[in-house]
Amino acid sequence: MQQFTIIGGRPLVGSVAASGAKNAALPILAASILASEPVTVSRMPRVTDVYTMLRLLQSLGAPQSTISACATAGLSDSAVTIDPRTLTRAAPAARYVRRMRASFCVLGPLLARHGRAVVPLPGGCRIGPRPVDLHLRGLAALGADIRVVDGLVIARAARLRGARVSLIGPHGPTVTGTANVLCAAVLARGATIIEGAAIEPEITDLVRFLNSLGARIDGAGTAMLEIRGVEQLGGARHELIADRIEAGTLLAAGLATCGRVTVERIDPNHLSAVLEAFARMGAEIEVSVDRVTVSRRGRIHPINFTARPYPGVPTDLQAQLMALAVLADGTSQIADSVFPERFAHVQQLRRMGAQSTQRANGVTIRGVQQLHGARVVASDLRASAALVLSALAARGTSHVERLHHLDRGYERLEDKLWSLGANIRRESIPSRDVLLAAR
């Protein structure tokens, strides 16, 4: 087991480049199943979720070299090449699908390519219910016969056919559902219209990737996608967009420590709602074509917001914004319309001195002047980032445990924070089970 040891209280100052977007990489790697020639995806983040997806592709027939290529390439510009001609199986290894929800994105591509797919129901962080009924309903509308047996989704279709599909759910559009149905539709016979499609930049990047393979998709960046099915897709080279969640986390680290941080190689338009939230919290913001700089003077201002689908404040930055709100000069109200139960980090922040009250539809945070160091335990990917931000701002030493959550989506975060002046180091520690057995 690994932990961060962080001595807080240092303002972070400097510039750092954003990695490629993990949330774009995963559906694009899944979509590579559809190609008939090799595809190369660059700016691939070296995070465990990407390794999981590569191993899943290996279980479908991809060679081991795809994992090695990502593991040995440069930190910022690593690339992987997938030869889809080797992907001959239609049933991925269950152990990889159950590790993360995004692995379920292989269902649509497998069904479109092979006419059949057997995929376990997905796993991932415990942040509340995330049903896949919209995925299945959308694929059924394209003509798939779908059954769920003993935790396995079994889908068959001799040839998918175009249809009008609605993906509007109770908590807004489904990002992974949009990816699944979109990938299935590109090889379907005839035209498909997806209504209520997710408009996240990562879906737009997936559309750009598919079109580079030869797909015919219109409406990228809107809630209505029009797909004209083609007989076959080719190969392509594709560079991922920047990770807006990592960028927002690094900028928030600068604000939490009263520093001045610049994140480069990003599209500031992807962070519009987040930058607006930072401004309301008192941040001074400088924006250019491919970078953003944030700083602040004095106390953070309280904020009221609800995390929503894009272009709103993303649920994946809700916890990090809460880490800022606990330092605010006043009371903040935070809710999450995407995952209303995504507040496991609240209890851990209290260990560091945060004052908050959890209620049915969100959290009330009463800001404090200073947090203190503590031993805290990460519960999920984004909660772990919030704990790191709070530890950087706190007085004294903190230990953030269970870094396997953080490593799912952040590429050596400690190296980037260290380059900005943070006193942070990664350490291996015995697991709780080992310690208990030794007593």
pLDDT one digit per residue (tens) for the chain, 439 residues? 899 999 999 999 999 999 999 999 999 999 999 999 999 999 999 999 999 999 999 999 988 656 566 655 444 458 899 999 999 999 999 999 988 888 999 999 999 999 999 999 886 444 343 468 999 999 999 999 999 998 899 999 989 999 999 998 776 789 999 999 999 999 999 999 999 999 999 999 999 999 999 999 999 999 999 999 999 999 999 999 999 999 999 999 999 999 999 999 999 999 999 999 999 999 999 999 999 999 999 999 999 999 999 999 999 999 999 999 999 999 999 999 988 888 989 999 999 999 999 988 899 999 999 999 999 999 999 999 999 999 999 999 999 999 999 999 999 999 999 999 999 999 998 876 544 433 4
Q: What's the total number of domains in the chain?
A: 2
Q: Tell which of 239, 264, 299 closes a domain.
A: 239
Task: Please indicate, yes or no, whether residues 76 and 166 belong to a single structural domain of this protein.
Answer: yes
Cβ-contact 344, 383 below 8 angstroms: yes
Task: Please indicate, yes or no, whether residues 230 and 355 belong to a single structural domain of this protein.
Answer: no
pTM of the model: 0.94
Task: Please indicate, yes or no, whether residues 288 and 327 belong to a single structural domain of this protein.
Answer: yes
Q: Tell which of 204, 239, 274 closes a domain.
A: 239
Q: What CATH number is associated with residue 131?
A: 3.65.10.10
Q: How far is CA 272 from CA 1, 63, 206, in A?
A: 37, 40, 21
Task: Please indicate, yes or no, whether residues 331 and 381 belong to a single structural domain of this protein.
Answer: yes
Task: Please indicate, yes or no, whether residues 71 and 163 belong to a single structural domain of this protein.
Answer: yes
Task: Please indicate, yes or no, whether residues 234 and 251 belong to a single structural domain of this protein.
Answer: no
Cβ-contact 102, 176 below 8 angstroms: yes
Residue 281 structural domain? 2-18+242-438
Please name the residues in contact with 269: beta carbons below 8 A apart, sequence gap of 6 or more: none
Q: Which of 416, 383, 391, 411 is nearest to 264 (CA)?
A: 416
DSSP code per residue over 346-358: HHHHHHTT-EEEE
Task: Please indicate, yes or no, whether residues 265 and 377 belong to a single structural domain of this protein.
Answer: yes
Task: Please indicate, yes or no, whether residues 59 and 88 belong to a single structural domain of this protein.
Answer: yes
Task: Please indicate, yes or no, whether residues 200 and 251 belong to a single structural domain of this protein.
Answer: no
The answer to whether 258 is a known catalytic residue is: no
Task: Please indicate, yes or no, whether residues 282 and 391 belong to a single structural domain of this protein.
Answer: yes
Q: Tell which of 215, 239, 263 closes a domain.
A: 239
The one catalytic residue among 70, 125, 183, 258: 125
Task: Please indicate, yes or no, whether residues 188 and 321 belong to a single structural domain of this protein.
Answer: no
Task: Please indicate, yes or no, whether residues 9 and 100 belong to a single structural domain of this protein.
Answer: no
